[in-house]
Amino acid sequence: MGRVYNFSAGPAVLPEEVLIRARDEMLDWRASGMSVMEMSHRGKEFISIARKAEADLRELMAIPANYKILFLQGGATAQFAAVPMNLLRGRRKADYVNTGHWSKRAIAEAKKYCEVHIAASSEDRNFSYVPPQERWELSSDAAYVHITSNETIGGVEYHWIPDTGDVPLVADASSHILSRPIDVSRFGLIYAGAQKNIGPAGLAIVIVREDLIGGALPITPAIFDYKVQAENESMLNTPPTFALYMAGLVFEWLKEKGGLAAMERINLEKARLLYDLLDSSDFYASPVAKADRSRMNVPFTLKDPALEEEFLRQAKAHGLVQLKGHRSVGGMRASIYNAMPIEGVRALVEFMRDFAAKHG
């Protein structure tokens, strides 16, 4: 079997062109005589790779000049702790909106550092929607408001940016960053683990407004102190060099594809293909409220759960893999990140139609 269509939620599919380029540069990066993996992170070759990655990301997301971009380790999970450690700035409380699995993980970690106030929750309907802003109860003394802008497991996505007034808005955008243009200036901080929609695991990206930097709790480890990392261009210690190089290749690929507006058009089309099938079928169903459905992670159920194993087995035989839903929610899930070509979604939809016709 050659390459499959990989619907994994993460680590996830990467653009084939990027993998080919990395393969071609593997042994000898641009006449340096060595692999990127073997380079000093302080050498001019690697510094050029890191600076280009940062500049390309800034251009792709139109990140204003008063925001720092940090390339860190520890995944998005490290940021669950680093965000309160850095952003409390003398305050004691932070607001969190609870929309499911990853919100809960962020909340549990933040509770070690501050008083967490749940400003809104969608737990009443099994995390199947985003609570509308009218129902949020924000605290005036919160240091920041935290949202999970795309719940990777529940498949629930914000298609609007909350208004939190003067209180900085913080978003865990791990599973939909770069899937569409966003107005970065509406956020105090955006963070994302790389292994969903950016590159290989081992890298996390933090985009943070400069005036929020510099007030870290004294216990903050230096590697998680945004000020220290910003002053050291994310190289206080050895960064995950190969992951950063790969992310940079993905940024170049995105620019070649026409940037985030072009990605959004393709992503909308991919999501529409899949949701149209789910909505028009009585064999499949989507558990998520229509207005809040994720364009990146599409959970779905089969009418008869006893058919799930057969579905997965036959899908795999068609080269469609990693469709099993997260163990905490069951069912199926198709993650259709930027790197999933529309042909992969078409192949999935066609397979699902045939499967429903045979087993419905």
Which residues are part of a known binding site for pyridoxal 5'-phosphate? 76-77, 102, 152, 172, 195, 237-238
Among 18, 57, 70, 76, binds ligand PLP (CB under 6 A): 76
- Of the candidates 29, 68, 95, 196, the residue annotated as catalytic is 196
Rg (CA), the chain: 21
User: Applying CB under 6 A, which of residues 6, 121, 128, 174 lies at the interface with ligand PLP?
Assistant: 174
d(CA 179, CA 99): 20
Axis crossing angle, helix 259-280 with helix 241-256, rounded to the nearest 10 = 80
| Part of the chain binding ligand PLP (CB under 6 A), chosen from 12-20, 23-31, 74-82, 117-125 | 74-82
Closest by CA to 191, choosing from 202, 180, 201, 176, is: 176
Region from 72-80, 89-97, 306-314, 345-353 binding ligand PLP, contact rule CB under 6 A: 72-80
Catalytic residue status for 196: yes
Closest separation in Å from C-beta 131 to ligand PLP? 17
Q: Is 148 in the site for ligand PLP (CB under 6 A)?
A: yes
What are 251's two structure tokens?
Answer: 């940024």
Residue with tokens 């924000």: 138
Residue from 5, 6, 7, 10 in contact with ligand PLP (CB under 6 A): 10
Cβ 39 to ligand PLP, closest distance in Å?
24
Bridge partners, residue 72, by sequence = 204
**Span near ligand PLP by CB under 6 A; candidates 69-77, 107-115, 212-220, 333-341:** 69-77
Q: Closer CB to ligand PLP, residue 128 or residue 148? A: 148
- Residue in 29, 102, 136, 253 annotated catalytic: 102
Minimum separation from the CB atom of position 74 to ligand PLP (A)? 7
* CA dihedral (306, 312, 313, 315) positive or negative: positive
Q: Does 57 bind ligand PLP (CB under 6 A)?
A: no
Q: Are strands 115-121 and 93-98 parallel, antiparallel or unpaired?
A: parallel
Asked if 222 contacts 79 with a C-beta cutoff of 8 angstroms, the reply is no
* 102 noted as active-site residue: yes
8 Å CB contact between 188 and 212: yes
Integer angstrom CA distances of residue 53 from 13, 196, 206, 327: 20, 17, 14, 35
Site for ligand PLP in 91-120 (CB under 6 A): 102
Residue 338 interacts with ligand PLP (CB under 6 A): yes or no? no
Active site residue 225: no
For residues 35 and 350, the answer to whether their CB atoms sit within 8 Å is no
Give phi and psi for 281, each to the nearest 5.
-110, 145
- Can residue 71 be called a binding residue for ligand PLP (CB under 6 A)? no
User: By CB under 6 A, which span of 37-45, 70-78, 229-237, 341-349 interacts with ligand PLP?
Assistant: 70-78
HEC secondary structure over 8-59: CCCCCCCCHHHHHHHHHCCCCHHHCCCCHHHCCCCCHHHHHHHHHHHHHHHH
The residue (of 102 and 242) whose beta carbon lies closer to ligand PLP is 102
Provide the minimum distance between the beta carbon of 307 and ligand PLP in the complex, in angstroms, as a whole number: 28
Q: Which residues bind ligand PLP (CB under 6 A)?
A: 10, 75-77, 102, 148, 152, 172, 174-175, 193, 196
